[in-house]
């Protein structure tokens, strides 16, 4: 046992150490970028996998610098001053997949060291001091290569066989910096096989050089990116070279990046593209420094999509209508203009083909955009993310005539809805993204009933109102990062399947939730301040008791209160059924009490329990007294166990019940009766006193008859007197028939007080009880008598 335990302890220790040595699952990442290093740091952890030494002043590296890093996967040496890498480098770095040597001072592009790292997927050697781009034999061994970056800062020529070594390889992307190109042999680029080709165009005004490069570029890959089109003075060489782009090129996606030109040149450059093989045209980072209007007709175009990102206009005054009218007349399907400070957009001409429009990250406002625009009836997707839209009502009226609009994204604006109003949405809308706005609970009064997906994250919603428009089509509802205090009720969206309510403010989500959300399959309620009390039990068990997938469970569901449970996972929070159900406690307690009461009641009713209890108590008392009396040796002059006083009317009972039971059963007792034992010649009173004195107890048989009899009263008086003078407790009252208090004359006050103290035993009419009665009586008077009997008197 101890061995097994210590074994586990060892494993635990080993595991802990291991995780200290290797803190990240993906290995150690060391970022020494921009640290002004002049050499590779010594003693790098041998398990380093990702090492960034870019943007330093490293001039020389040594073979032993990376010799111990057998697990190195990625090495970035970009922007240093390395001028030489011998063929022995990276011998121990067989795992290397990514190597960035761009922007250094390497002069030989032979790169013999590549023999050692044939698993490279990513290699960038652009912007070095190569004098030619004739790739060495080593490149042909890079069997897994996906990306290659080439180029030089020095004036270079690109010759026919320069790229021969990689000509057989299908790559994903090749980027070639030809800014300093001075000569180009036609066909040099066409040997490449790559999905994406990026060419940084020569900064030259030699039109023929540019044309030769572009001609090849257009026929090499499907996706072509061309950077560096700057024409501050003259642009005709670019305009002419684009004219080559005909109907037979290979390019279907064309990206133009880093342009600086005027509007007229931009239109001229793009004109041939409009009727080429290009389906998708994108402009990234365009600086317009002049706005000269240029008439543009493009009724026939093969282009489907136009994207413009980062359009800057450096003019103070410019006629923006030129730009707006241009887009309004385009016959394309997709238009994206983002991050371009767009203030407005005109309604496109009738018969346009727009299906998709993305104007994210601009300065559009809701009051003017596409209000009363009747021509966007093919539009399916409109993205207005991150603009200056502020009135939701206006957004709804904008969509009214967009008969095909399915998807509207107006997230990250400043939308509000200041009153309860019926908004005028198009009834085709399926997905609406209203996240990151300033909407309150009122938003639910302004939603189209056709919605299937609604995103209301990051707003100011406190609750989902119960009475709201019918949203029966809704399948996905995102309400994360609001101020909800409870889970919404699904009665208004009965088909809801996905609900996100993470990072809200609810403490004790109501348990009725699940009943109303029958179709739910995914729930994210993570990161709420849960109060772990009985109310939360149903919720904390939801994961076990339903088939709902809970996002973030269990780690993001924690108790926030009470303090002793803070941080406890809901998964580990358990309270028993009994602790939590007040009704259950009440039922148990009340149930037990009712059963007890019923049992007692039944016993009282059928068995006369109180009577038995009282009799048993008296019997016990009498036994105790009798024993005490025994031990004290009762006076020897006693002849009888008891003297019985009764009314003549009760003599039947005395003779038929009392005498047989006391004198004949068990140990026979001696009973003195005045009619049996009266000594003739003596007065009645003398006889009574004699009898009382010689008896251990005086038994009075009480009944209404007894009260009537004066003799009996005398007898009682004497017996009582005896109580006072001699023994303390020789008086016994048997109530044969109950005597109402008012029947007892006031002169019998002694009797009254005795009766009031209830120091009597009742004669039970029930036969079963009579045996206990006799046993009781026998116990009370059954002592041992030593004196002889006075039978002689009879």
Ligand X SMILES: *[C@@H]1O[C@H](CO)[C@@H](O)[C@H](O)[C@H]1NC(C)=O
What is the C-alpha separation between 441 and 235, in angstroms, rounded? 56
Map the footprint of ligand X across residues 153-172, applying CB under 6 A: none
Name the minimum Å distance from CB 1 to ligand X.
54
SS3 call for 194 = strand
- Beta carbons of 480 and 504 less than 8 angstroms apart: yes
Alpha-helical runs (H) found in 204-345: 207-217, 236-243, 263-274, 320-329
356 sits near ligand X (criterion: CB under 6 A): yes
Stretch that binds ligand X, among 267-275, 313-321, 346-354, 428-436 (CB under 6 A): 428-436
Strands (E), 58-192: 74-76, 98-100, 122-124, 147-151, 156-158, 170-177, 181-184
Per residue in 237-246, is it b (16+ CB within 10 Å) or e — as a string?
bbbbbbebbe
Name the minimum Å distance from CB 363 to ligand X.
17
Each residue 551-580 as x (binds ligand X by CB under 6 A) or -, in order, gives: ------------------------------
What is the C-alpha separation between 145 and 193, in angstroms, rounded? 12
Quick one: which of 80, 188, 241, 334 contacts ligand X (CB under 6 A)? 334
459 sits near ligand X (criterion: CB under 6 A): no
SS3 call for 726 = coil
Name the minimum Å distance from CB 407 to ligand X.
9
Which one, 146 or 162, has the nearer CB to ligand X?
146
Of 630, 652, 660, 604, residue with least CA distance to 782: 630
Which one, 337 or 734, has the nearer CB to ligand X?
337
For 729, phi then psi, to 5°, come to -135, 50
Name the minimum Å distance from CB 276 to ligand X.
14
Map the footprint of ligand X across residues 377-416, applying CB under 6 A: 381, 385, 409, 411-412
Count residues near ligand X (CB under 6 A). Answer: 26
Name the minimum Å distance from CB 216 to ligand X.
25
435 sits near ligand X (criterion: CB under 6 A): yes
CA atoms within 13 A on the CB side of 485: 4
Name the minimum Å distance from CB 159 to ligand X.
28
Name the minimum Å distance from CB 147 to ligand X.
9
Which one, 280 or 285, has the nearer CB to ligand X?
280
Quick one: which of 453, 481, 644, 779 contacts ligand X (CB under 6 A)? 453
Name the minimum Å distance from CB 511 to ligand X.
28
Which one, 173 or 737, has the nearer CB to ligand X?
173
Give the DSSP H or E segment for 713: helix 710-725
What is the C-alpha separation between 66 and 81, in angstroms, rounded? 17
Name the minimum Å distance from CB 55 to ligand X.
5
The DSSP output letter for 654 is I
Give the rounded distance of the alpha carbon of 133 from its chain centre: 58
- Beta carbons of 251 and 222 less than 8 angstroms apart: yes
Which one, 407 or 510, has the nearer CB to ligand X?
407
Name the minimum Å distance from CB 334 to ligand X.
4
280 sits near ligand X (criterion: CB under 6 A): yes
618 sits near ligand X (criterion: CB under 6 A): no
Of 791, 767, 766, residue with least CA distance to 668: 791
SS3 call for 175 = strand
What is the C-alpha separation between 531 and 553, in angstroms, rounded? 17
Which one, 55 or 346, has the nearer CB to ligand X?
55
Contacts of 408 (CB under 8 A, 6+ apart): 381, 382, 383, 384, 395, 399, 429, 431, 432, 433
Quick one: which of 157, 279, 403, 541 contacts ligand X (CB under 6 A)? 279
Contacts of 599 (CB under 8 A, 6+ apart): none
Map the footprint of ligand X across residues 65-104, applying CB under 6 A: 76, 78-79, 98, 100
Which one, 262 or 455, has the nearer CB to ligand X?
455
Hey, what long-range contacts does 707-711 have (CB within 8 A, 24 or more apart)?
Answer: 707/739, 707/743, 707/744, 707/745, 707/748, 707/751, 708/647, 709/647, 709/648, 711/684
Which one, 459 or 695, has the nearer CB to ligand X?
459
Which one, 412 or 661, has the nearer CB to ligand X?
412
Name the minimum Å distance from CB 160 to ligand X.
30
Which one, 31 or 786, has the nearer CB to ligand X?
31
- Beta carbons of 479 and 500 less than 8 angstroms apart: yes
- Beta carbons of 133 and 110 less than 8 angstroms apart: no
Give the rounded distance of the alpha carbon of 687 from its chain centre: 99
Name the minimum Å distance from CB 498 to ligand X.
10
Quick one: which of 455, 502, 650, 693 contacts ligand X (CB under 6 A)? 455
SS3 call for 563 = helix
Of 528, 527, 345, 500, residue with least CA distance to 433: 500
What is the C-alpha separation between 47 and 45, in angstroms, rounded? 5
What is the C-alpha separation between 645 and 433, in angstroms, rounded? 106
Stretch that binds ligand X, among 200-208, 238-246, 431-439, 697-705 (CB under 6 A): 431-439
Looking up tokens 């040597």 gives 101
Which one, 334 or 540, has the nearer CB to ligand X?
334
Which one, 175 or 540, has the nearer CB to ligand X?
175
The DSSP output letter for 224 is E
Name the minimum Å distance from CB 34 to ligand X.
7
Stretch that binds ligand X, among 56-64, 429-437, 438-446, 562-570 (CB under 6 A): 429-437
Map the footprint of ligand X across residues 30-69, applying CB under 6 A: 33, 54-55
Q: Is 174 left (phi over 0), alpha (psi -120 to 50) or beta?
A: beta
Name the minimum Å distance from CB 193 to ligand X.
22
Looking up tokens 């101890």 gives 2
State both tokens at 739: 């005597």
Name the minimum Å distance from CB 63 to ligand X.
22
Which one, 334 or 776, has the nearer CB to ligand X?
334
Name the minimum Å distance from CB 318 to ligand X.
29
Which one, 224 or 658, has the nearer CB to ligand X?
224
304 sits near ligand X (criterion: CB under 6 A): yes
Which one, 33 or 59, has the nearer CB to ligand X?
33
Quick one: which of 48, 152, 338, 436 contacts ligand X (CB under 6 A)? 436
Which one, 26 or 741, has the nearer CB to ligand X?
26
508 sits near ligand X (criterion: CB under 6 A): no
Give the DSSP H or E segment for 335: strand 334-338
Which one, 437 or 558, has the nearer CB to ligand X?
437
For 195, phi then psi, to 5°, come to -70, -40
Name the minimum Å distance from CB 435 to ligand X.
5
Map the footprint of ligand X across residues 466-505, applying CB under 6 A: 478
For ligand X, the binding residues (CB under 6 A) are: 33, 54-55, 76, 78-79, 98, 100, 279-280, 304-305, 333-334, 356, 381, 385, 409, 411-412, 433, 435-436, 453, 455, 478
């Amino acid at each position: 046992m101890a061995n097994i335990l210590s074994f586990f302890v060892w494993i635990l220790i080993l595991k802990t150490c291991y995780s200290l040595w290797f803190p990240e699952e993906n290995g150690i990442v060391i970022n020494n970028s921009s640290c002004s290093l002049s050499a590779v740091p010594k003693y790098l952890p041998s398990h380093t996998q990702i090492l960034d030494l870019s943007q330093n002043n490293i001039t020389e590296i040594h073979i032993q610098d990376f010799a111990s890093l057998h697990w190195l996967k990625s090495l970035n040496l970009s922007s240093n001053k390395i001028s030489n890498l011998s063929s022995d480098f990276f011998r121990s770095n067989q795992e290397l997949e990514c190597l960035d040597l761009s922007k250094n001072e390497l002069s030989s592009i032979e790169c013999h060291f590549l023999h050692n790292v044939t698993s490279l997927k990513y290699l960038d050697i652009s912007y070095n001091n190569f004098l030619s781009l004739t790739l060495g034999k080593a490149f042909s061994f890079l069997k897994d290569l996906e990306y290659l970056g080439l180029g030089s800062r020095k004036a270079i020529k690109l010759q026919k066989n320069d790229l021969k070594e990689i000509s057989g390889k299908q790559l994903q992307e090749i980027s070639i910096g030809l800014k300093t190109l001075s000569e180009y042999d036609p066909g040099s680029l066409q040997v490449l096989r790559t999905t994406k080709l990026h060419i940084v165009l020569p900064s030259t005004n030699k039109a023929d050089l540019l044309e030769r490069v572009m001609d090849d570029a257009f026929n090499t890959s499907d996706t072509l990116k061309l950077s560096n089109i700057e024409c501050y003075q003259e642009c005709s060489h670019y305009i002419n070279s684009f004219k080559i782009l005909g109907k037979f090129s290979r390019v279907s996606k064309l990206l133009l990046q880093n342009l600086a030109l005027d509007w007229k040149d931009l239109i001229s450059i793009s004109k041939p593209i409009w009727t080429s093989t290009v389906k998708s045209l994108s402009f990234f980072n365009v600086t317009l420094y002049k706005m000269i209007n240029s008439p543009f007709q493009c009724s026939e175009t093969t282009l489907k999509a136009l994207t413009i990102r980062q359009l800057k206009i450096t003019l103070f005054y410019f006629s923006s209508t030129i730009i707006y009218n241009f887009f309004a007349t385009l016959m394309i399907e997709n238009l994206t203009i983002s991050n371009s400070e767009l203030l407005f957009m005109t309604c496109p001409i009738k018969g346009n083909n727009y299906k998709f429009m993305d104007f994210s990250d601009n300065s559009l406002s809701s009051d003017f955009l596409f209000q009363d625009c009747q021509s966007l009836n093919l539009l399916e997707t409109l993205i207005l993310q991150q603009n200056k839209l502020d009135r939701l009502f206006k957004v709804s009226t904008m969509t009214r005539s967009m008969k095909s609009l399915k998807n509207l994204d107006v997230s990250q604006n400043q939308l509000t809805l200041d009153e309860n109003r019926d908004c005028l949405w198009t009834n085709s809308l399926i997905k609406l993204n209203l996240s990151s706005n300033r909407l309150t609970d009122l938003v639910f009064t302004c939603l189209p009933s056709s919605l299937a997906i609604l995103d209301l994250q990051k707003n100011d919603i406190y609750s989902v109102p119960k009475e709201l428009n019918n949203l029966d089509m809704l399948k996905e509802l995102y309400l994360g990062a609001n101020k909800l205090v409870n889970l919404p009720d699904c009665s208004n969206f009965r088909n809801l399947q996905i609900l996100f309510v993470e990072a809200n403010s609810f403490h004790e989500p109501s348990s009725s939730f699940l009943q109303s959300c029958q179709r739910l399959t995914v729930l994210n309620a993570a990161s709420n301040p849960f109060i772990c009390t009985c109310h939360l039990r149903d919720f904390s068990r939801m994961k076990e008791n339903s088939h709902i997938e809970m996002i973030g469970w269990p780690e993001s569901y924690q108790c926030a209160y009470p303090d002793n449970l803070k941080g406890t996972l809901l998964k580990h929070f358990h309270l028993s059924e009994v602790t939590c159900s007040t009704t259950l406690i009440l039922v148990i307690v009340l149930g037990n009490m009712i059963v007890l009461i019923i049992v007692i009641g039944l016993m009282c009713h059928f068995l006369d329990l109180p009577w038995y209890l009282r009799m048993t108590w008296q019997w016990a008392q009498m036994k105790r007294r009798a024993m005490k009396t025994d031990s004290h040796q009762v006076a020897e002059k006693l002849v009888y166990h008891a003297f019985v006083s009764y009314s003549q009317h009760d003599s039947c009972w005395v003779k038929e019940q009392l005498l047989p039971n006391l004198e004949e059963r068990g140990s026979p007792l001696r009973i003195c009766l005045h009619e049996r034992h009266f000594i003739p010649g003596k007065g009645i009173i003398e006889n009574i006193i004699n009898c009382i004195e010689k008896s251990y107890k005086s038994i009075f048989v009480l009944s209404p008859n007894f009260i009537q009899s004066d003799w009996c009263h005398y007898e009682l008086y004497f017996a009582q007197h005896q109580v006072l003078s001699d023994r303390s407790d020789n008086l016994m009252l048997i109530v044969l028939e109950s005597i109402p208090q008012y029947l007892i004359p006031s002169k019998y006050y002694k009797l009254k007080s005795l009766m009031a103290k209830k120091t009597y035993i009742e004669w039970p009419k029930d036969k079963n009880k009579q045996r206990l009665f006799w046993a009781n009586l026998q116990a009370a008077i059954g002592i041992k008598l030593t004196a002889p009997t006075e039978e002689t008197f009879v």
